[in-house]
Amino acid sequence: MSLRARLALFLALSIGLALLFQGALSYLAFKRLLEADLDRSLLFFVGALSEGRRPPRGEFAFRLVRGEEAHQSPNFPDWPRLTPGAYWREGWRVLVLEVPGGTLTVARYDPGAVAALQSFRLALLGTGGALTLLFALLASRVAQVALRPLSRLTEVAQRVADSGDLSHRVEAKGSGELKALAESFNHMLERLQAFLDRERRFTRDAAHELRTPVAAALAQVEGAEAGYLPKEEALQAAKEELLRMKRLVEALLVLAREGRVERVGLDLAALARQEAEAFRVPYQGPEALPFLGDPLLLAQALRNLLQNARLHGEGRGVEVALREEGQEAVLEVRDQGPGMPEEALKEAGRPFFRASGKPGEGLGLSVAQKVAEAHGGRLELLANRPSGLVARLRLPLPTGGASGPP
C-alpha cells in the first residue's frame, strides 16, 4: 500500500470514528429524550388508575400483582413477571413499579417511537458511511498535495539510481520535516559525490604508483635476458622495485581498513619508546600510559612518521614525545630539517602527495592520518620553529571502565 493510500485511509478512519462517536452520543440523547416522554405518560397513566380518571390518549395496559393474585387490563401482553425497572418489549414501553403489597406493571404500545429510534440509527449509519467515503476521497487528494515534496524526492532518487549521476538535486521548498529531509538528501548526494571523486583519484594514483615498480622490475629482467645488464645488478634492482611495490600494497591495505580497528589494552608509552629505540632517536614522555587501540596500526603510524622525519628531515634532531593534554594522548615526532611550505602542509595527508622529489610512495602520512581517525583522533602537521616539522597524533584517551594492558 502506498504512503498516499495509507495517509488517506488514516484520515478517513479518523473522521469515520469521530462521526461514529458523535452519532452515538446524538442517538443516546434522542433515545433518553423519547424514553423520558413515554415514562412521563406512563406515570400519568398510573395516576389516572389510582384516581379513577380517564387515561391519557394512546394504547395503555397494566398488571397489578399482589401475592398470588393478579389483576390486569384485557390488552396486557402475555409476559412473565418482571423485576422493577424500565424496558422495551415488542414495541411496548414498560415500567415496573413497586407498590404496597406487590408490583404494578404499566406499558404503552408505541411502535412509532421504536420506528423513530430505528430510523435514527439507520440515518446515522448511512450519513456516517457516506461522509466517511466522501472524506476518504478528499483525504486522498489532500495526501497527494501534502506528499508532493516527498514525490519530488522519490523522482530525484530514482533518476540518480537509474543514471548514476550524482549531480541531481532536490529543490528544498517550504519548511518543516520535508524541507529538512530534502536538504539532508542533497547533502548526502554532495558527500557521496565527493567520496566518489576521492576514490577515483585514489584509484588512478594507486594504479599509477603500482605500475611504475612493476614496469621498472620488468625492464630490469628483460635487460638482463637480452644481455644489456649484468644479472646480479638487474636482480638487485628488480628486488628493490618489488620491495617498493610491497610497501605500497601494505600501505594500501592499511588505508583500505578504514575504521575497522581491533582495540585492545596497551601501554602507549612502551610502544612509543620501543619504536624510538628502533630508530635510535630519543624519547620524552611518561613511563606508562594506558590506552585502548590497535597496537599494529599505531606502531605502523609512528614508524611512518619516523621514516618521514628521517627522510625529509635529513635525520637532524629527530625525537619522539608523548604527553597527556586533557582527554587526549599527544604522540609527536619532531625533526629539524627544512620542513614543509604552508601549502604543502595542507595537502600532506592526501594519498600519493609528495612535498619534495625525494624517494617515497607518498602514503606514510596518509596511513598515519587514517590510523588516527580510526582511533577517533587526528593528525596535525605543524612547522617546528626555527626549522623542521612536527607530526602530531592526537588520540582520545579511554574513559570510564576502559583500561590499559593487563
C-alpha span between 123 and 281 (Å, rounded): 96
pLDDT of 251 higher than 80: no
Grid coordinates in use for 112? 412509532
pLDDT of 207 higher than 70: yes
Give the pLDDT confidence score for residue 106 in this predicted structure. Answer: 92
C-alpha span between 311 and 353 (Å, rounded): 15
C-alpha span between 353 and 97 (Å, rounded): 104
Q: Which class for 368: exposed (0-12), middle (13-18), buried (19 or more C-beta within 10 A)?
A: buried
Average pLDDT estimate for 281-293 = 93
pLDDT of 259 higher than 60: no
> Which among 50-54, 92-96, 98-102, 133-137 has the top mean pLDDT?
92-96
Global pTM reads 0.49
Element holding 112 (H helix, E strand) = helix 111-146
Give the pLDDT confidence score for residue 226 in this predicted structure. Answer: 85
> Residue 339: which region, alpha, beta or left (left: phi > 0; alpha: psi -120 to 50)?
left
Give the pLDDT confidence score for residue 355 in this predicted structure. Answer: 65
3-state DSSP assignment of residue 142? helix
Peptide bond connecting 386 to the previous residue in cis, omega within 30 degrees of 0:
yes
Question: DSSP assignment of 266-294, as one string?
Answer: EEHHHHHHHHHHHTT--EES-S--EEEE-
- Percent of the residues in the chain that have a pLDDT greater than 70, as a whole number: 92
Average pLDDT estimate for 109-128 = 88
CA angle (222 as vertex; 218, 228 as ends), nearest 5: 130
Give the pLDDT confidence score for residue 300 in this predicted structure. Answer: 84
Q: How confident is the model at residue 277 (pLDDT cuts 50, 70, 90)?
A: very high
Supply the mean pLDDT for the chain.
Answer: 84
pLDDT tens for each residue of 6-52: 877 888 888 888 888 988 999 999 999 999 999 998 998 888 888 87
253: CB partners within 8 A, 6+ apart: none
pLDDT of 404 higher than 60: no
Strand pairing category for 283-284 and 102-109? unpaired
Mean pLDDT is lowest, of 30-39, 121-130, 236-245, 328-337, for 236-245
3-state DSSP assignment of residue 334? strand
- Percent of the residues in the chain that have a pLDDT greater than 90, as a whole number: 22
Mean pLDDT is lowest, of 95-99, 146-150, 173-177, for 173-177
C-alpha span between 107 and 61 (Å, rounded): 5
Give the pLDDT confidence score for residue 356 in this predicted structure. Answer: 66
